[in-house]
Amino acid sequence: DSGVTQTPKHLITATGQRVTLRCSPRSGDLSVYWYQQSLDQGLQFLIQYYNGEERAKGNILERFSAQQFPDLHSELNLSSLELGDSALYFCASSVDSPSTDTQYFGPGTRLTVL
Amino acid sequence: AQTVTQSQPEMSVQEAETVTLSCTYDTSENNYYLFWYKQPPSRQMILVIRQEAYKQQNATENRFSVNFQKAAKSFSLKISDSQLGDTAMYFCAFIQTTSGTYKYIFGTGTRLKVLA
């Protein structure tokens, strides 16, 4: 158990819908990262927050948005869902920068868009 | 643009033997960090080993070690005394921070199967 929690574990929805994925980082970690892993693919970095502020942005679609709240939990919002958005979404956390601190990954949320 | 290439989609190794997974990357920067992550069937991502580009000494963590060749932009993972629990997908990852800008790039993975 990495100490990073993600809810829900599984999510099934229809095209055009909007969903919210939630992540609670390890105690003491200020950075939260979101990744997308499509079937049998590597991880695609989406976005990073540090202590409530956006720090880095990767290949995140405009239909996707995220935020980190004062209690440091984070939410990833996916809207106007398409079939291609079906994937495993990982949240990770670290104390500060991943170059100096280990990223701990949550168990992921599997999103299925029908 | 930075890229990470894992040229071996699948590999297998006999239990107790040694196996090496390859990873090459491309960057024009000098300061970066390299990682190997393991993803077992549970899908949990687990850090195996990390290497700072400014360090010449190869990182080692128990049965796992890397061969970091900075000039060749190569970062291979060696697993010694392979165990059944090493069966997993292994991802090579590159993290770079330049002037406050961060890039996180993962390879497409190598599926390793340890045979009894």
Query: What pLDDT was estimated at residue A87?
Result: 96
Is A56 in contact with B47 (Cβ distance < 8 A)?
Answer: no
Residue B55: C-alpha distances to residues A10, A75, B4, B52, B92 (Å)? 41, 36, 20, 6, 18
pLDDT in tens, A2-46: 899 999 999 999 999 999 999 999 999 999 999 999 976 778 999
Tell me the average pLDDT across A66-75. Answer: 97
Tell me the average pLDDT across B74-98. Answer: 93
Query: What pLDDT was estimated at residue A96?
Result: 82
Residue A91's pLDDT band (boundaries 50, 70, 90)? very high
Closest residue in B to A41 (Cα) is: B108
Percent of all residues in chain B with a pLDDT value above 90, rounded to a whole number: 73
Contact indicator for A20, A65 with CB cutoff of 8 Å: no
Residue of A9, A40, A43, A100 best to disrupt the B interface, most CBs of B under 10 A: A43
Q: How far is CA A72 from the centre of its chain?
A: 13
Query: What pLDDT was estimated at residue B100?
Result: 66
Q: Which residues in chain A have their CB less than 8 angstroms from residue B4's CB? A: 42
Selecting from A2, A42, A58 the residue whose C-beta is nearest the C-beta of B91 gives A42
Question: By three-state DSSP, how is residue A102 classified?
Answer: coil
Q: What is the DSSP letter of A113?
A: E
Distance from CA of A76 to the nearest CA of B (A): 18
Residues paired with residue A36 on neighbouring β-strands, in sequence order: A44, A89
Residues 6+ apart with CB under 8 A from A1: none
Query: What pLDDT was estimated at residue A39?
Result: 79
Phi, psi of B8 (to 5 degrees): -110, 100
Is B106 in contact with A42 (Cβ distance < 8 A)?
Answer: yes
Residues 6+ apart with CB under 8 A from B100: none
Is B104 in contact with A56 (Cβ distance < 8 A)?
Answer: yes
User: Can you give the C-alpha Rg of chain B in angstroms?
Assistant: 14
pLDDT in tens, A50-61: 999 998 898 899
Query: What pLDDT was estimated at residue B27?
Result: 87
Distance from CA of B108 to the nearest CA of A (A): 4
For the record, the structure tokens of B107 come out as: 């390879």
Query: What pLDDT was estimated at residue A42?
Result: 78
pLDDT in tens, B25-82: 998 888 889 999 999 988 888 999 999 888 889 999 999 999 999 999 999 999 999 9
For residue B48, the one-letter residue type is V
Is B102 in contact with A88 (Cβ distance < 8 A)?
Answer: no
Closest residue in B to A4 (Cα) is: B44
> Hunting for tokens 């080692």 — which residue is that?
B60
